[in-house]
């Protein structure tokens, strides 16, 4: 059936075959097109996850109480990481999201973004607190980043109490980040930050954010995460939302939310995986278990992780 289709694609367009059909992706424009009329045989499905997040380093100069990142100084080897990302690109991965810790504290970060942009068709994104993104840093990254996610949990005094950084400084960075790439806001939701949601959406709209990612706080290091009352208020807020900035929600926080997922059959490690700062491949950044990426490469490690989970490994 696929021989009956003729597609005139731009050189930068990436094609991913999967259980939901043929997925066309342009990292420059952000265009995603799913042709679900085409039924792709399983033997032709991409063997890499659609998206992979990478904790480049655990180092961070903030100490947010709800942060899930391990508190040791691990950082990934540059050459090993590049080889893993080249392998993922060749097996159908569409995008890489760099995080940490704070990715701008990874000393090879600029070179990494440049290398991956030039050597692959992967979309390069990163999540940051933004306080290191001065004009010089933005200029160094120019042309080598496709999307930026800015962490903004609460506004004004709430933000400063939780992150111990100037909110006005963050607001200034939001005014200039568009010079680098399109950006979105990441917003951890808990009892302290929920009252700031409306004002945060206003700021996101005023500064040109392309999306607003809701992250219901997850349990970490003995803390209970978002409480049931706050979670219900968040669901009500989402149900009544009529703002102009599109809302998205983390997969682990999507229960009870009215979300749309066009990739209903592409689940688990077909959809997403996480590499932590010690070189462990995991199902998510919240997962305590994983498989070390050895000399056999990352695609083989994906197979091992899939079998490990299926067998209920410890």
Instruction: Give 2-36 pLDDT, tens digit per residue.
Output: 445 555 677 779 999 999 999 999 999 999 999 99
Cα–Cα distance, 91 to 299 (Å, whole number):
8
Average pLDDT score over residue span 222-234: 87
Q: What is the pLDDT of residue 309?
A: 61
Which CATH number does the domain 46-310 belong to among 3.40.250.10, 3.20.20.70, 3.30.1360.200, 3.40.190.10?
3.20.20.70
271: helix, strand or coil: coil
Question: Percent of the chain at pLDDT above 70?
Answer: 94
Where do the domains of the chain lie?
A: 1-45, 46-310
Under DSSP, the state recorded for 255 is T
What distance lies between CA 86 and its chain's CA centroid? Answer: 18
Cα–Cα distance, 130 to 203 (Å, whole number):
15
Q: What is the pLDDT of residue 1?
A: 41
Residue position matching structure tokens 């278990």? 289
Q: What is the pLDDT of residue 199?
A: 97
Task: For residue range 138-153, list pLDDT tens digits in order.
Answer: 999 999 999 999 999 9
Give whole-number Cα distances, 58 to 55, 100, 174, 271, 275, in Å. 7, 5, 24, 24, 12
Residue 69 pLDDT class (50, 70, 90 cuts): confident
Question: What's the token pair of residue 302?
Answer: 């994906």
The answer to whether 16 and 25 are in contact (CB under 8 A) is: yes
pTM: 0.91
Strands (DSSP E) found in the chain? 13-18, 21-26, 31-35, 51-55, 95-99, 123-128, 147-151, 182-189, 212-216, 247-249, 272-275, 280-282, 291-292
Average pLDDT score over residue span 214-238: 87
Burial class of 111 by CB neighbour count within 10 A (0 to 12, 13 to 18, 19+): middle
Average pLDDT score over residue span 63-73: 75
Task: For residue range 250-288, list pLDDT tens digits in order.
Answer: 877 677 777 778 899 999 999 999 999 999 999 998 888
């Amino acid at each position: 059936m696929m021989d009956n289709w003729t597609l005139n694609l731009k050189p930068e367009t990436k094609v991913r075959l999967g259980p939901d059909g043929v997925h066309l992706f342009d990292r420059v424009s952000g265009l995603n097109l799913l042709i679900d009329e085409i039924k792709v045989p399983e033997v032709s499905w991409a063997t890499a996850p659609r998206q992979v997040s990478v904790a480049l380093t655990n180092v961070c100069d903030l100490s947010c109480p709800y942060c899930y990142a391990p508190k040791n100084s691990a950082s990934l080897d540059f050459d090993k990481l590049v080889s893993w990302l080249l392998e993922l690109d060749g097996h159908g991965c569409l995008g890489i999201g760099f995080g940490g810790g704070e990715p701008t504290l990874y000393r090879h970060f600029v070179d990494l973004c440049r290398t991956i942009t030039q050597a692959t068709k992967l979309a390069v994104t990163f999540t940051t607190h933004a306080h290191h993104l001065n004009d010089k840093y933005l200029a160094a990254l120019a042309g080598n980043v496709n999307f930026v996610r800015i962490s903004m949990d609460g506004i004004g005094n709430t933000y400063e109490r939780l992150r111990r950084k100037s909110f006005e400084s963050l607001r200034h960075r939001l005014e200039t980040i568009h010079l680098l790439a399109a950006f979105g806001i990441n917003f951890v939701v808990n009892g302290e930050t929920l009252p700031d949601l409306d004002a945060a959406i206003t700021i996101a709209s005023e500064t040109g954010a392309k999306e607003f990612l809701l992250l219901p706080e997850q349990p970490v290091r003995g803390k209970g995460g978002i409480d049931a009352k706050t979670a219900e208020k968040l669901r009500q807020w989402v149900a009544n939302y009529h703002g102009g900035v599109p809302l998205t929600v983390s997969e682990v926080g999507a229960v009870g939310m009215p979300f749309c997922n066009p990739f209903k059959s592409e689940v688990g490690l077909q959809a997403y995986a996480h590499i932590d700062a010690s070189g462990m491949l995991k199902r998510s950044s919240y997962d305590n278990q994983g498989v070390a990426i050895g000399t056999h490469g990352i695609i083989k490690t994906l197979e091992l992780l899939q079998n490990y989970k299926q067998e209920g490994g410890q």
